[in-house]
A and B are shown apart, each in its own frame.
Chain A
C-alpha cells in the first residue's frame, strides 16, 4: 500500500497529513473538558435557570453537558445551584465525596457563592466552606448565559490543566479518608450514617 510504503521509507514523515500526533495528557484534558457531565444539585431558583440552560434555547448540549447525571459516581461537575441550608450541608458534602476524581465544583448564584441576600442562621454563607469551589458564577439568579460563561471558563481551565496544577500545589481537592476495619470484626458496620 502506498501509506505503508511511505512509512517504511520515511518513518513518521511519511504519514503526510493523515494523522495528528500529540501527548496523551493533552488528549485527555481536551476530551475531559468537552464531555463533562454535571451532577444534579439544583436546590432553589438557580436550579430553574440551570434547567433552562440545558434546554433548547441556550442548549448546553453543544458543550457536551446536556446529560445531568443523578448518580454522583458518574458525574464530573457539581453545579451547586441555590442556597444551601444548614440541614442540606451534610448532604452536599456526602454527594461531593461520592463523586469520582477528577471533579470540579461550580458555585452558581450568589447564595451558593457567599450566602447571597440571606445572611442568617439558616443558610451556609458560601458553599466553599464545605467543598472546594473552582468557578463562582454571580447573579440572582444568573441568567443561562452567565452559567454558560462559567461552564466555559471551567472548561478552559480543565483544558489548560490549570486546575490539576493548582491542586498539586495547594493540596486542595477531595480529602478522602480511609478507615481500616479489621478483618475479625463481628458487630455490623453501619455505612453512610449521619
Chain B
C-alpha cells in the first residue's frame, strides 16, 4: 500500500486474475476512460509485501504482479489494480479490447518479464531484439555489467 502523510491515499485494489477483465470492464463503465499505465513487478527477492490482512485473506500472493493504472478524465481520479500472476501460469487476459493503448505496454511487459497476454494482437518483443533469450527485468536475470578494472589498480 502507498504511504503519504496528509493526502488522500491512492485507490489501490487487489484483483484476482480470474476477475481481472471483468473488473476492467466495470471500471471502464464507471468512468475510467483511459488506461494510463500497465506494468509488472517481479517480487522474487522481495522481503515481504506489506498488505492489510483482510485483503490477504482473499487473494494469494504470487511472484509476478501486473499493475494497471486507470485514469478517469471526467471524474479526475485514478485507480490502481494489482493482479497476482503465478510464475507457473504466467498468462493473463489482454486489456487490448477495452483499452487499445495497452498494446505497446503489454508487449513491453512480455518482453521484460515473460508474462503472456491472451488476446493480444501481436505479442512480440518490443525493446530487445526479436531473437533475444531471457527476460531482462526478472530478478533472476543479472544486470549484465562488465567488471571494470582500472589501469594500475592493485588487483
What residues of chain A have their CB less than 8 Å away from a CB belonging to chain B?
86-87, 115, 119-122, 125
- Contact-size category for B: 10 to 19
Which residues of chain A have C-beta atoms less than 8 A from B143's C-beta?
A: 119-121
Chain A facing B: main interface SS: loop
CB pair B146–A121 under 8 Å, yes or no, is no
In chain A, what residue has the closest Cβ to B146? A125
CB pair A87–B145 under 8 Å, yes or no, is no
CB pair A120–B129 under 8 Å, yes or no, is no
Known: A115-B146, A119-B146, A121-B136. 19 other contacts (CB 8 A): A86-B128, A86-B129, A86-B132, A87-B128, A87-B129, A119-B143, A119-B145, A119-B148, A120-B143, A120-B144, A120-B145, A121-B141, A121-B142, A121-B143, A121-B144, A122-B128, A122-B136, A122-B144, A125-B146
* 16 pairs, CB–CB < 8 Å, chain A vs chain B: A86-B128, A86-B129, A86-B132, A87-B128, A87-B129, A115-B146, A119-B145, A119-B146, A119-B148, A120-B145, A121-B136, A121-B142, A121-B144, A122-B136, A122-B144, A125-B146
Closest Cβ–Cβ distance, residue A73 to chain B (whole Å): 27
A178→B128 CA distance, assembly (Å): 31
What residues of chain B have their CB less than 8 Å away from a CB belonging to chain A?
128-129, 132, 136, 141-146, 148
A121→B127 CA distance, assembly (Å): 12
In chain B, what residue has the closest Cβ to A119? B145
Closest Cβ–Cβ distance, residue B153 to chain A (whole Å): 16
A86→B144 CA distance, assembly (Å): 12
A2→B29 CA distance, assembly (Å): 97
A121→B138 CA distance, assembly (Å): 13
Which residues of chain B have C-beta atoms less than 8 A from A122's C-beta?
A: 128, 136, 144
A158→B51 CA distance, assembly (Å): 66
Which residues of chain A have C-beta atoms less than 8 A from B136's C-beta?
A: 121-122
In chain A, what residue has the closest Cβ to B145? A119
Closest Cβ–Cβ distance, residue B133 to chain A (whole Å): 11
Of listed A115, A120, A121, residue having the most chain B CB within 10 A: A121
Closest Cβ–Cβ distance, residue A56 to chain B (whole Å): 37
Which residues of chain A have C-beta atoms less than 8 A from B129's C-beta?
A: 86-87
Which residues of chain B have C-beta atoms less than 8 A from A87's C-beta?
A: 128-129
A86→B141 CA distance, assembly (Å): 17
A115→B148 CA distance, assembly (Å): 11
A122→B143 CA distance, assembly (Å): 9
A125→B128 CA distance, assembly (Å): 17
A125→B146 CA distance, assembly (Å): 8
A86→B142 CA distance, assembly (Å): 16
A31→B65 CA distance, assembly (Å): 62
Closest Cβ–Cβ distance, residue A176 to chain B (whole Å): 26
A115→B143 CA distance, assembly (Å): 14
A87→B129 CA distance, assembly (Å): 6
